Amino acid sequence: MKSEIFARRACESAASSSLIRHLFEWGREAARARPELDIIDLSLGNPDLEPSPAVREALRGLVAEEAPGRHRYMDNAGFEDVRETVAMQLSLSSGMHVGADSVYLTCGAAGALQIVFGAILDPGDEVIVFAPYFPEYIGFVQSAGATPVVVRPGAGFQLDLEAFEAALTARTRAVVLNNPNNPTGVRYPASISARLASVLAAHRERTGTLVHIVADEAYAGLAYDRRRRASVLAAWDAVWLVRSCSKDASLAGERIGYFAWGPALSDPETMPLLRSTARALGFASAPALMQRLLPYALAHPLDTSEYRRRCERFVAILRAGGLDAALPEAGFFVFPRSPIADERRFCRLLADRGVLCVPGTAFGAPGYFRASLTQPLARIEAAAERITGCAQFVGEGRPRELAAGMPRVEALLGPA
């Protein structure tokens, strides 16, 4: 039936599309239909903290403004004065001049990534993605006709630069650097951009090809250590810096973010080409009201102490229960090792106990699972207790009856 109506390509892509979204939707349905499961949904990275009071106050002020023309189309790249503000902040953080004409406002980091990939990738190009990775990278790269090449992580989920070097080919066009990382919460050392750049410089010397760094910093504002670090923008000639207010400012549903680039990529042709790439994607521009809010979101970062408290508590309970879980350095994700090798099966057993986590396979890292701690502390604690209970249970190797009436989660994760 579906294929009678929809394109084969769309059906195939829907079948393999985000496990995380499926789990989230399944959780909502199950919570409605089977309240006795008391589902604690740790699947989707959907920030539950409210935007900071200053940002909410600014939003009220912006909505009340009566100036004419507030709701019209504008330059596809966004309002000039807002881009100027972003550029000034980037100039300060990078130590080099970034102008408003090197900033493009977008519908979140996802919109930015789509435009950047659309602008730099040709069919046949390769894009290096470090595992564990944000799953959407795969679809974004493929929809630009290119091929993702996954590089396995080093110890402690740090980047393995030797494996990276070995993965570079004459077809490599870009590498994605997601720092801090989703799903691990690892924040790579300050030296990482320079080290990556030196590998790319040697590759350029050898092959004459310029590889772009696509720096996805969607969680940069949620780093627990607020000390300023050298900006990736200044590390290499071809850097596209992607930022978002979704997590940093808890504005995920408002769809506002931006990307920026350094002087080496600034050419009279750059902006027209990006505008034309973006138009083909159909977004036209980021929402006008949210563009106006962006400077306030930048000026009033979210207080990360609540996320940090939750992660510390969650990890403490898991460790006390014998699980291996590292403390993140940013954000609200914890990425523990599954107590059994088949983490999909473990996530299935967790779902059976009313806790939804995402198997590491979805991030290219089997054997681990991701918990998004976007619930109040008491729920996080309850989830951690259920997880350790389940881990002990599988450790004891006892068979377990599956809860009846949960066919869809079984279909998603495979039978327990």
Binding residues vs ligand PLP (CB under 6 A): 45, 108-110, 134, 178, 182, 216, 218, 244, 246, 252, 257
Count Cβ atoms within 10 A of the Cβ of residue 263 and give its class: 0-12 exposed, 13-18 middle, 19 or more buried: middle
What are the backbone dihedrals phi and psi of residue 369, each rounded to the nearest 5 degrees, phi first? -145, 155
CB of 242 to ligand PLP, least distance (A): 7
Cβ nearer to ligand PLP, comparing 41 with 216:
216
Cβ nearer to ligand PLP, comparing 185 with 257:
257
- Asked if 343 and 411 touch (Cβ cutoff 8 Å), the reply is no
CB of 302 to ligand PLP, least distance (A): 14
CB of 416 to ligand PLP, least distance (A): 27
Q: Strands 239-244, 212-216: parallel, antiparallel or unpaired by DSSP?
A: parallel
CB of 410 to ligand PLP, least distance (A): 26
CA distances from 151 to 91, 132, 203, 204, 334 (A): 32, 9, 17, 19, 21
Cβ nearer to ligand PLP, comparing 102 with 246:
246
Cβ nearer to ligand PLP, comparing 176 with 349:
176
Cβ nearer to ligand PLP, comparing 27 with 257:
257
What is the distance of C-alpha 351 from the center of its chain?
23
CB of 132 to ligand PLP, least distance (A): 10
Cβ nearer to ligand PLP, comparing 185 with 354:
185
CB of 107 to ligand PLP, least distance (A): 7
Nearest to 211 by CA among 121, 112, 98, 114: 121
Closest residue to ligand PLP: CB criterion: 108
- Where does 47-124 have alpha helices with state H? 53-64, 80-94, 108-120
Whole-angstrom distance, CA of residue 408 vs CA of residue 413:
9
What is the residue type of 414?
G
